[in-house]
Structure 1
Amino acid sequence: MTDEERCAVFSDRVIAGLHERLGLASNPSLELVEALRRICRSSCGQAREVERSTDSPYMTTKELAAHVRKSPATVRSWRHRGLGPRGTRIGKAVLYRRDAVAKWLEEREQADEIGRRAT
Structure 2
Amino acid sequence: MEDKKLKDICGTGNPFSVPEGYFDRVTEEIMDRLPEKEKVILPPTPTTWQRIKPWLYLAAMFCVIMGGARYFVGPSLQQKIDKSPMATTSAEAQSISYDEEYLENELMNSRMDDYSVYCYLTDTDSES
Q: TM-score scaled by structure 1?
A: 0.31
More strand by share: 1
Asked which structure has the greater CA Rg, the reply is 2
Higher relative contact order (CA 8 A, sep 6+): 1
